[in-house]
């Protein structure tokens, strides 16, 4: 049986042309603009001819020095943003004036921080905002910001319940990305954790009025369910992940929700999950009312590279072989664009199963082939060799070290499996396309993809159980805990790999004790949670991080992890040079325009720049480690904002920069485009780090900034 694709008869679904303009894309009532995740606005008051006249209409400071990458939504002239210690704030969308604040708690770190969901009843008497906080789903009144106590249990639904695991053992379930509202349902993915024993990645739908669970789709199949045989027996009881932490998309006319799933866990070793591992790394088409699987396609079999489908499936209509076809396109971390008939799941162009390198790690059984789309061409670089080394690495000793690492690593191109020796991964596990990183123009079948080029070098080691002596000092015990849990990513010297993995040097001066404990316990951004650490462990770890010089030598007992199958682990291995730039040469980020009528690339440009290099005349490098979402408009423009502090308007047809302006902070997430009182606005979230090295101690003076044409 071929596990990667199953086509079902969908004759019961009415085939109708999807709406591409009209009210669907005239507002910004949903994350990404609309339920179809198009990141498109049909507004055209701002266009190629006048975009250079844009000016700041209003600014709303976030009121703290947190980093935000929030996509605002606008309903009835109110804009909803995240600000002031992760509070939900309602603003007058025409002036930026604060209307109300719903506080979520000053220590809250785990919140749906990329966007929220809006729902209203048919008569509009009930209007709600829904978001997740600390693993609880909550609902508040969209007009007042008051909590709705009738929702769930006194206003909250515990997302850790109903997963077939002990809820007390699950530290991370919610995603930082919102779900999708369909009729009276809120459909949610989840984040789970990155390690062994993570929560399963069930896709679930909740009643928006009551909070009651309506349906569940098991991404790690249970006995009797399709795909169960692609896993070891009873894997559903222990294996986690295969989750949808990124954005979902809806075909509202047909009632289909498209779900991009991530890798099973653990990310880089899968001896405990031998098989193809459905539904990890799949594009799922589910009946939005029931959760029934309609079709699926698996992009990576038995993923051991962390090649998640990290981007929203994009819905558009294209001309293919002389006929109009309603399609869905998915851009992946591995650098491919996959395009399917959104009703049947049939690929628009052939997809070939090709042999790939095999693993030499004990007990690991990699899948012998992987799917490669014949068209469209990849948007990311898929190899990294010595000839690609970054020319901006000027120190001879560092160049020699990096060349030695590259030349000494196993490097057989895309899908080289992680091993007990150094292994090159390109695109890296944080490369390719990521959340919010694509948009479509539904008028002409064009797809725009933001790509991050960041190679990784992976090396598996047996997971060890380290134990300090009870007589050791708190700093000594904390050093042992750091060695066992943190060293993989933050390195033995605690300097990390900025900007992807922040430095922990002097972290005690930047964060207080409770903030450090919260991040370690719950996770943040790409950092996994560590639920098994006790309060005493956290206290000791904080003591070490605040006073590493006091650790001295600890009495350490070491043993292999107690498991029937040895657990191997690796850091993410992001390859940065000491100057904060990726080890690969530029461009480090790019924007690619695809004509999906033909499956070809229309144009490709570096996206953004590095201010320190641009000042020296190097302007076509692309931004480093972007967290960027483009937005396309009917005015022929692409609006995007990057960590170089610049907002840009590009010509949709050529990629040429038509307008740009610089703000006080780095920009993350996607802009929003909306209209109030006949005036079109562009709003961006300028609340991210702008330096190459985000470990610098400068505070972020974040704000939401709205632009419009002069009145």
What would the two tokens of residue 478 be? 């904390």
Instruction: Supply the angle between the helices 535-546 and 474-485 in degrees, to the nearest 10.
Output: 100
> How many of the other CB atoms lie within 10 Å of CB of 544?
28
Nearest to 41 by CA among 670, 601, 532, 620: 670
Nearest to 658 by CA among 672, 644, 640, 676: 640
Q: Which domains does the chain have, with CATH numbers?
A: 464-560 (1.10.760.10)
Give whole-number Cα distances, 280 to 276, 347, 413, 530, in Å.
Answer: 8, 19, 22, 22
3-state secondary structure 41-108: ECCCCCCCCCHHHCEEEEEEECCCCCCCCCCCEEECCEEEEEECCCEEEEEECCCCCEEEEECCCCCC
pLDDT of residue 19: 39
| Residue 519 host element (H or E) | helix 513-522
Under DSSP, the state recorded for 545 is: H
Nearest to 333 by CA among 388, 260, 274: 260
Nearest to 448 by CA among 671, 631, 606, 635: 631
The tens digit of pLDDT for each residue in 453-477 reads: 999 999 999 987 767 777 788 888 8
Torsion angle, alpha carbons of 304, 309, 311, 312, to 10: -160
254 torsion bin: left (phi>0), alpha (psi -120 to 50), beta (else):
alpha
> How many of the other CB atoms lie within 10 Å of CB of 248?
28
Positive/negative CA dihedral, 605, 610, 613, 614: positive
Rg (CA), the chain: 24
Give whole-number Cα distances, 628 to 54, 189, 316, 448, 670, in Å.
Answer: 21, 21, 21, 12, 6
Q: Is the peptide bond before 237 cis (omega within 30 degrees of 0)?
A: no
pLDDT of residue 547: 85
Q: Which residues contact 316 (CB under 8 A, 6 or more apart)?
A: 20, 38, 327, 329, 440, 441, 442, 445, 447, 596
Contact 546, 508 (CB under 8 A): yes
pLDDT of residue 24: 79
CA–CA dist 523, 527 (Å, integer): 5
Under DSSP, the state recorded for 488 is: H
What would the two tokens of residue 387 be? 């000839």
End-to-end Cα spacing for the chain: 63
- Could you say which residues of the chain have pLDDT below 70? 1-23, 106-109, 466, 522-526, 531, 552-565, 691-698
Q: Which residues contact 120 (CB under 8 A, 6 or more apart)?
A: 126, 127, 128, 142
Helix, strand or coil for residue 172? coil
| 430 CB-side CA count, 13 A | 24
Q: Which residues contact 203 (CB under 8 A, 6 or more apart)?
A: 187, 188, 189, 190, 216, 217, 219, 244, 259, 284, 286, 291
How long, in residues, is the chain?
A: 711
pLDDT of residue 524: 67
Nearest to 216 by CA among 293, 150, 326: 293
Provide the edge-to-edge strand list for the sheet that holds 156-158.
117-120, 127-133, 136-141, 156-158
Contact 591, 450 (CB under 8 A): yes
Nearest to 233 by CA among 243, 223, 244: 223
Q: Which residue has the tokens 């009930």?
A: 126
pLDDT of residue 557: 53
β-pairing, 637-641 with 646-651?
A: antiparallel
Provide the edge-to-edge strand list for the sheet that holds 87-92.
73-75, 78-83, 87-92, 98-102
Phi then psi dihedrals of residue 605, to 5 deg:
-135, 155
CA–CA dist 704, 57 (Å, integer): 11
């Amino acid at each position: 049986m071929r596990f990667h694709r199953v086509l079902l008869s969908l004759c019961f679904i009415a085939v109708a042309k999807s709406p591409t303009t009209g009210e669907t894309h005239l507002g910004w009532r949903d994350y990404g603009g609309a339920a179809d995740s198009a990141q498109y606005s049909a507004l055209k008051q701002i266009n190629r001819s006048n975009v250079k006249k844009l000016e700041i209409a209003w600014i709303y400071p976030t009121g703290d020095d947190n980093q935000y990458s929030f996509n605002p939504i606008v309903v009835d002239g109110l804009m909803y943003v995240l600000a002031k210690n992760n509070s939900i704030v309602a603003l007058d969308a025409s002036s930026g004036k604060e209307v109300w604040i719903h506080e979520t708690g000053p220590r809250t770190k785990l919140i749906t921080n990329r966007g929220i969901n809006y729902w209203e009843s048919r008569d509009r008497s009930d209007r709600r905002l829904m978001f997740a906080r600390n693993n609880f789903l909550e609902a508040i009144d969209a007009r007042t910001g008051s909590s709705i106590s009738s929702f769930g249990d006194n206003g909250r639904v515990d997302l850790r319940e109903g997963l077939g695991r002990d809820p007390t053992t699950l530290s991370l379930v919610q995603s930082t990305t919102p779900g999708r509202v369909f009729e009276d349902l809120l459909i949610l993915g989840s984040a789970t954790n990155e390690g062994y024993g993570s929560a399963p990645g069930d896709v679930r739908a909740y009643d928006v009025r009551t909070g009651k669970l309506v349906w569940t789709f098991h991404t790690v199949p249970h006995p009797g369910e399709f795909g169960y045989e692609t896993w070891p027996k009873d894997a559903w009881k222990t294996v986690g992940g295969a989750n949808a932490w990124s954005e979902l998309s809806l075909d509202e006319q047909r009632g289909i929700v498209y779900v991009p799933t991530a890798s099973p866990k653990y990310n880089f070793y899968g001896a405990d999950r031998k098989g193809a591992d459905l539904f990890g790394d799949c594009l799922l088409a589910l009946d939005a009312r029931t959760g029934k699987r309609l079709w699926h396609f698996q992009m990576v079999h038995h993923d051991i590279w962390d090649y998640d489908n990290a981007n929203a499936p994009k819905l558009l209509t294209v001309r293919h072989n002389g006929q109009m076809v309603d399609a869905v396109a998915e851009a992946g971390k591995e650098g491919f664009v996959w395009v399917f008939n959104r009703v049947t799941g049939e690929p628009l162009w052939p997809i070939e199963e090709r042999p790939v390198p095999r693993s030499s790690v004990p007990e690991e059984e990699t899948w012998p082939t992987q799917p490669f789309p014949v068209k469209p061409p990849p948007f990311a670089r898929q190899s990294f060799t010595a000839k690609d080394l970054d020319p901006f690495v000027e120190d001879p000793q560092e160049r020699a070290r990096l060349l030695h690492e590259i030349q000494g690593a196993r490097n057989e191109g895309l899908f080289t499996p992680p091993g007990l020796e150094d292994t090159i991964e390109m695109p890296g596990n944080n490369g390719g396309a990521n959340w919010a990183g694509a948009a479509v123009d539904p008028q002409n079948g064009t797809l725009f993809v933001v790509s991050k080029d960041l190679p990784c070098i992976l090396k598996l080691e047996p997971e060890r159980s380290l134990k300090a002596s009870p007589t050791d000092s708190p700093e000594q015990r904390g050093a042992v805990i750091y060695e066992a849990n943190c060293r993989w990513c933050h390195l033995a010297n605690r300097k990390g790999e900025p900007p992807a993995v922040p430095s922990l040097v002097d972290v005690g001066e930047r964060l207080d004790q409770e903030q450090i404990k919260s991040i370690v316990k719950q996770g943040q951004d790409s950092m996994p949670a560590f639920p098994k650490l006790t309060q005493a462990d956290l206290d000791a770890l904080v003591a070490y991080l605040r006073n590493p010089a006091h650790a001295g030598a600890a009495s350490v007992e070491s043993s292999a992890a107690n498991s029937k199958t040895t657990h191997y682990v690796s850091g993410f291995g992001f390859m940065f040079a000491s100057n904060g730039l990726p080890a690969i040469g530029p461009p480090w980020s790019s924007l690619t325009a695809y004509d999906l009528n033909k499956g070809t690339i229309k144009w490709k440009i570096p996206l953004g720049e590095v201010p320190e290099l641009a000042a020296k005349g190097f302007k076509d490098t692309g931004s480093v480690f972007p967290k960027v979402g483009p937005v396309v408009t009917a005015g022929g423009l692409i609006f995007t904002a990057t960590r170089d502090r610049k907002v840009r308007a590009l010509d949709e047809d050529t990629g040429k920069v038509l307008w740009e302006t610089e703000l006080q902070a780095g920009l993350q997430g996607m802009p929003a485009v909306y209209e109030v009182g006949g005036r079109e606005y562009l709003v961006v979230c300028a609340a991210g780090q702008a330096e190459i090295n985000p470990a610098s101690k400068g505070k972020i003076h974040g704000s939401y900034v709205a632009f419009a044409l002069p009145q």
